Amino acid sequence: MHLATYLGLLEDSEKQLTDAFEHVAEKHRDEPDIEQICQKFSAWSRNHHGQILGFVEKYLEEQEDEPDKLKRDLFARNRSGALALLRDLHDLWLLTQQVQLCWTVIRQAALGLRDEELKACATECAARTKRQTDWLLGRVKQAAPQTLLVAE
């Protein structure tokens, strides 16, 4: 059974997302909406991460180490300014996609296992992840023309 492995991937992804939102909130604190909403989203992901831990415990098996490739590619450059904001939002969006897909995979397993608790958890967390994605997409769409066409 590879469920634990995948839960591990999810756990790691939510952890990365938690840190990434925190990082972006801190880095772009001059953008008041970014700072506050990213802090909120970081708290959401931290909460998701906490929920996963219980299931990791429950399905604990030998875990393969998932390399955090994604983390290395994202947020690596020391960017600043309007373009940096757009790129950081872009990367956050990608990370939420990673998390979302993990939840989809885990939920499928929960259905197969008839694990009602895990199913409920996956449903709730996937819904909140979508709200993160939706917000990021809206903000990216707003920022894109100004950033690419006008900003210095």
Q: Is 135 in the site for other proteins (CB under 8 A)?
A: yes
- Residues 31, 66, 68, 124: which binds other proteins (CB under 8 A)? 31
Dist CA 141 CA 9 (whole Å): 29
Residues 56-115 contacting other proteins, CB under 8 A = 81-82
Say which residues have a Cβ less than 8 Å from residue 26's Cβ, sequence separation at least 6. 35
Report which of 127, 139, 75, 76 is spatially closest to residue 100, judged by C-alpha positions: 127
6 binds other proteins (CB under 8 A): no
What's the token pair of residue 128? Answer: 């909140």
Q: Give yes or no for residue 29 binding other proteins (CB under 8 A).
A: no
Residues near other proteins (CB under 8 A) are 31-33, 36-37, 40-41, 81-82, 131-132, 134-135, 137-138, 141-142, 144-147, 149-152
